[in-house]
Amino acid sequence: MAVTSSDVADYLLAAARERGEVLTNLKLQKLLYYAQAWHLALYDEALFDEDFEAWVHGPVLPSQYQRYKGYSWQPITHEIKKPVLPPKVTAHLDEILSVFGTETAIALEAMAHAEAPWRDARGSLLPGQPCAALIPKESMKQFYKSLRIQG
């Protein structure tokens, strides 16, 4: 079964709600990013095909940003049905929520800003300058794999 970014976003939104939290678009973006990054590092394959862009507030998946941009900085209250995904994928996403879901959106943004994949994709741009540069999956894989080896 091919998993899409919408499947992953819906799962994260529904699972977070089950845990008593409603996500903002900013936090959803960061959870999607870490889900993809750690899937690449742990399993040597992408969780979904789409690429992240190095926006001002960190990595963003444009398709999912567009789905929920109407919420602006407010929690996404849209009723989401939790998709049925392969057990390996749900276990991975549950782990991502356990590790990163406890952080605030701003803390996750700061983490991503401190890490090489986002920084490298932005190059020499100033902090507030708009950017749509892709964050290469290979860059994500190598960086997070190196963290796994260090840890």
Residue 9 CB-half CA count within 13 A: 23
Cα–Cα distance for residue pair 143/127, rounded to 1 Å = 21
- Specify the pTM: 0.96
In this prediction, residue 109 carries a pLDDT of: 96
Mean pLDDT of 132-144: 97
User: pLDDT tens, 16-44?
Assistant: 999 999 999 999 999 999 999 999 999 99
Tell which wins on pLDDT, 127 or 121: 121
Tokens of 138: 């290979």
pLDDT digits 0-9 by tens, 68-92: 999 999 999 988 999 999 999 999 9
Alpha helices per DSSP H over 21-136? 25-43, 62-68, 87-100, 105-114, 116-122
